[in-house]
Amino acid sequence: MILLLPIDQLMKPLSRKQVRESMYRLLAAMKLPVTSWQDGGAAKAIISVVAAIFAGFTEIIALAIRANFLDTAEGIWLTLLAYYVYGVTRIEATFASGEVRLVNTGGGIFEFEPGEFICKHSVTGRQYTNVAFFKLEAGQTLPVAIRALEAGSRSSATPGQITELVTTMRGVTCTNPAPVVGRDGETDPELRERCRDSLGALSPNGPEAAYVYWAKSARLRNGSPVNVNRVWVSKASSVGHVTVFVASPNGAVPGTIGDDSTDLGAVDKAIRTRVVPNGVTCTIASAVPHPLPVTCEVWISTEANLQETEVVFAVRSRLDSYFQQIPIGGHVLRPSRLGAVFKNALIGQIESALPQIIKADVPLPTTDVTLAENEVPTRDAVAVTVHLS
C-alpha cells in the first residue's frame, strides 16, 4: 500500500526530537525494552546521532519539495525554478554608478589606478571608487567615473551628496553633479510576480500582463536591467491605443524614447518589439513623481532602551520601503476607483517599524492623498518626534 501524505506535511522538516520519538515508538513496537535504557548509554547515544542526521535530511527534502512550487520556493531555489520553468532570470542588485567632479585648488598632482581613489556620501557614509585611471593636474577640474563599493539602492545619492574624500588629496574638493543610482536585487515576491507576468507575455495579442512583464524585464543596450518595479497599463481602447506608465523605486524612470541606452528608451523598445500587436499604437511614459512629506509622532515605552536616532532611522527606512512599492496612481478602493495614499496605511507602516512602538500619529498629511492615474508617490522630508510613554 502506498501512503500519500498531504503536501503541507511533506514541506515541513522534522526536528531531532520528533525523529527520536518516532524511532523509540518503532523500537517499542518491535518489543525492545526502550524504557529501561539508561541515559548516556550507547543505545540512546546512537539513536540521538541518527536522529540528528535524519532531521537534517528532512530539511533538505522539505526544501526540495517547496522548490517545485512558485508560491513556496525561496532564495536560490526560487531563482532556479524561475529560470528553468518560466524562463525568467532574477534581477541582481546593481552598484550605484555615476560621476564626481574633482576640483584641484592646490598645487598637487594626483594619479590613481582603478579602485585606488575613494570618496563617500556625506550623510550615509557609503563609499565609492574610481572605475578607470585618472590624473588630476594642479588647478584642474576633472569629471571622474565612480562606482559604489556596496551594491543596492542604499548606495544611491542625489546631486551634491558625495562630497567627502577618503583618499587624502590636499586642496581637492569633490561633488556629484548628477544622481548616482543603484538598485536592489529582486525580492522573492517580485520575482514570483514577474514569473506570473511572463505567462501573459506568451500571448501574441498583447494582454496587460505582457506589457507589465516586458516593462520590468527590459534591458539596456549594454545588457544591464532597467530600474522599473511598477507598471500601469490603460484599459482597452476603442481606437486601438495603449498607454503604459512606468516607475522606479525612486519614482520617475529617466531616459529618452528612442535611446535604448536609457531606462525609458529600453522599456519602449522592449514593448514595441515584444508586445504591441499590429493595428495598435502604444505610448510609453514615466510616471510623474508626487512628493509627499510626512510628519509623525511616535510613542515608545520607557523600558524599550532605544535611542531616538534608532527610532527615527527605523521609521524612515520603513516608509522608504513602503513608498517604493505603492502602485502608480495609488491604492484603489472600489467603487470610487480613485487611487490614493491612505493616511491610515502610513500610520500602520510607522507602528510596524519597531515592535517597541506603542502607537503613532500622522499630523501630515492631514488626510488621504489622491493621485492622478499617472502619478507615483515619493517620500519627501520625514519629520519624526519621539515620545516616551
DSSP string, 82-93: IIIII--PPPPP
Out of 45, 66, 87, pick the residue that ends a domain. 66
Three cell numbers, residue 267: 522599456
Q: Same domain, yes or no, for 298 and 279?
A: no
Domain assignment of residue 158, given as a range: 95-175
Name the β-bridge partners of 243: 283
* Domain presence at residue 1: no
pLDDT bracket for residue 330 (50, 70, 90): very high
Q: Same domain, yes or no, for 237 and 257?
A: yes
CA distances from 71 to 34, 45, 81 (A): 42, 39, 11
Quick check: 73 pLDDT over 50? yes
Out of 66, 81, 111, pick the residue that ends a domain. 66
- Please compute the mean of the pLDDT values over residues 281-301 and round it to a whole number: 95
Quick check: 128 pLDDT over 80? yes
E strands, 238-345, in order: 241-247, 281-286, 288-300, 331-332, 339-341
* Domain presence at residue 12: yes
Q: Same domain, yes or no, for 220 and 261?
A: yes
* Domain presence at residue 133: yes
* Domain presence at residue 226: yes
d(Cα 194, Cα 216) in Å, to the nearest integer?
8
- Please compute the mean of the pLDDT values over residues 24-47 and round it to a whole number: 85
Q: Same domain, yes or no, for 160 and 205?
A: no
Q: Same domain, yes or no, for 165 and 202?
A: no
DSSP H helical segments within 201-307, as ranges?
Answer: 208-217, 263-274
pLDDT bracket for residue 251 (50, 70, 90): very high
* Domain presence at residue 71: no
Quick check: 206 pLDDT over 60? no
For 43, the 3-state DSSP assignment is helix
d(Cα 261, Cα 23) in Å, to the nearest integer?
62
Phi, psi of 245 (to 5 degrees): -105, 140
Quick check: 1 pLDDT over 50? no
Quick check: 254 pLDDT over 50? yes
- Please compute the mean of the pLDDT values over residues 180-203 and round it to a whole number: 88
Q: Same domain, yes or no, for 302 and 267?
A: no
Place of cell 520617475: 252
Q: Same domain, yes or no, for 299 and 359?
A: yes
Q: What share of the chain has pLDDT > 70, as a percent?
A: 96
Q: Same domain, yes or no, for 343 and 369?
A: yes
Q: What share of the chain has pLDDT > 90, as a percent?
A: 64
Q: Same domain, yes or no, for 268 and 308?
A: no
Out of 286, 301, 325, pick the residue that ends a domain. 286
Cβ-based neighbours of 56, under 8 Å, separated by 6 or more = none
**Predicted local confidence at residue 203, as pLDDT:** 65
Q: Same domain, yes or no, for 205 and 274?
A: yes
Cβ-based neighbours of 231, under 8 Å, separated by 6 or more = 211, 212, 215, 216, 244, 245, 246, 247, 328
* Domain presence at residue 26: yes
Under 8 Å between Cβ of 290 and 207: no
**Predicted local confidence at residue 78, as pLDDT:** 96
- Please compute the mean of the pLDDT values over residues 10-36 and round it to a whole number: 86
Buried b (16+ CB within 10 A) or exposed e, 86-110: bebebbebbbbbbebebebeeeeeb
Under 8 Å between Cβ of 242 and 283: yes
Q: How many domains does the chain have?
A: 4
Neighbours of 272 (CB within 10 A): 14
pLDDT bracket for residue 344 (50, 70, 90): very high
Quick check: 5 pLDDT over 70? no
* Domain presence at residue 305: yes
- Please compute the mean of the pLDDT values over residues 276-297 and round it to a whole number: 93
Under 8 Å between Cβ of 255 and 264: yes
* Domain presence at residue 41: yes
Quick check: 168 pLDDT over 90? yes
CA dihedral 265, 268, 273, 279 (to 10 degrees): -140
**Predicted local confidence at residue 197, as pLDDT:** 87
Q: Same domain, yes or no, for 253 and 298?
A: no
- Please compute the mean of the pLDDT values over residues 231-260 and round it to a whole number: 90
Q: Same domain, yes or no, for 346 and 370?
A: yes
Q: CATH number, domain at 144?
A: 2.40.30
